[in-house]
Amino acid sequence: MRKESKNYKLKIKNKVACLLVFSFYLLVFFSCSHAVRQDVADTVVDDYGRQVVVPDHPQRVVSLSPAVTEIIYALGAQDILVGRTDFCEYPPEAGSIPSIGGISNLNIEKILSLDPDLVISGSMVGKKVTDQMDQMGVPMVCVIEKPRFEALYDNITAIGRLVGREHEADSLNALMRERVNVLVADAPNSDAITQSHNNAITPKVYYVVGFGPAGNFTAGGNTFINDIIRMAGGQNIAEDVEGWSYSLEALVQQDPDYIIVRREDSAAFCSMKPYNRLTAVRDGHVIGIVSGTLDLQVPRNIDCILYLRERMNK
């Protein structure tokens, strides 16, 4: 009887010991698992106010924005880029990255086939795509273009954090701020008001977004493009306009000193009536610019400021 009692107690002790060891390993396991999750995941709030759990160091990123693609390259993170849109054309090396279609007609199946662990979109991607990515369990963060030029630094910081290049983002922003400070310090007084074509304190400028029978469109005062024009030493004749629509009558009446237009549209604009009668066209003051340098919020904006400054003060 005593022997059975001793055996019973021994079995109880062994079970207790096993339970303690098992509990210890469970505690270690869950602690390590929690630590791993902390290391490999991060929660960010994107520009649409969405909370998104993203990998700490993504290895497969799809960009749905030309601006995002350009910034990723500027940060030296292009090796993790596995997909981009048809419009992601800068730098030229981006052309070797598989395309997932246009911006308004994204190929969702193609995006999913690339097995991304992070998708970064811009301003032109609608809620429908965002909802689809959420339903598929693919982390998607929206980094949109913002009204002020200064927001470019914020976007670079945000994308740097998303792709694990915070240090590179800080360095790029510091270099850009230094270049901008030099440019602005040398700029004419951007607050001055143009008085006449031949006696202009600050040249009047019009930026062509769209023209012709479909209507006239430009960048109003609530855009980063307006900031760039001012930083280049010009006065945007549409700075009092909110939005993008501009009347032909106002354009003719303002008769700007300089017109900025995409290079591929320059010839058509200058030959079309009534634009061909504008003073800037007749005086050869139409500035053709490379697409993406002014209409996207990207590091090349600074090159555009310098180029516009040189052309308007030659």
CA 13 vs CA 8, 10, 26, 45: distances in Å: 9, 5, 20, 52
User: In the prediction, which pLDDT does 131 show?
Assistant: 87
Query: Structure pTM?
Result: 0.82
Q: How far apart are CA 34 and CA 303, in angstroms?
A: 46
What pLDDT does residue 16 have?
Answer: 44
Distance of CA 169 to the CA centre of its chain: 13
- Reading the chain (314 residues) residue by residue, the pLDDT tens digits are 444 454 544 454 555 444 444 444 444 443 443 333 334 578 999 999 999 999 989 999 999 999 999 999 999 999 999 999 999 999 999 999 999 999 888 999 999 999 999 999 998 888 888 888 888 899 999 999 999 999 999 999 999 999 999 999 999 999 999 999 888 776 654 443 333 334 447 999 999 999 999 999 999 999 999 999 999 999 999 999 988 999 999 999 999 999 999 999 999 999 999 999 999 999 999 999 999 999 999 999 999 999 999 999 85
* Cα–Cα distance for residue pair 7/11, rounded to 1 Å: 6
Q: Which CATH superfamily is domain 43-179 in?
A: Nitrogenase molybdenum iron protein domain (3.40.50.1980)
- pLDDT tens-digit profile of 178-205? 999 888 776 654 443 333 334 447 999 9
- Quote the tokens at residue 13: 């002790």
> What fold characterizes domain 187-312?
Rossmann fold (3.40.50)
State the pLDDT at residue 199. 43
- Contact at 8 Å (CB) between 305 and 183? yes
Distance CA 126, CA 64 (A): 11
Q: 43-179 and 187-312: same fold?
A: yes
Distance of alpha carbon 155 from alpha carbon 170, whole angstroms: 11
Region class of 137: left (phi > 0), else alpha (psi between -120 and 50), else beta: left
Segment 4-50, tens digit of pLDDT: 454 544 454 555 444 444 444 444 443 443 333 334 578 999 999 99
Q: What per-residue confidence (pLDDT) applies to 33?
A: 37
Determine the pLDDT at residue 163. Answer: 97
Are 177 and 222 contacting, i.e. CB atoms less than 8 angstroms apart? no
pLDDT reported for residue 18 = 47
**Domain extent listing, the chain:** 43-179, 187-312
Look at residue 186 in the predicted model and tell me its pLDDT: 67
pLDDT computed for residue 56 by the predictor: 87
So what's the pLDDT on residue 314? 59
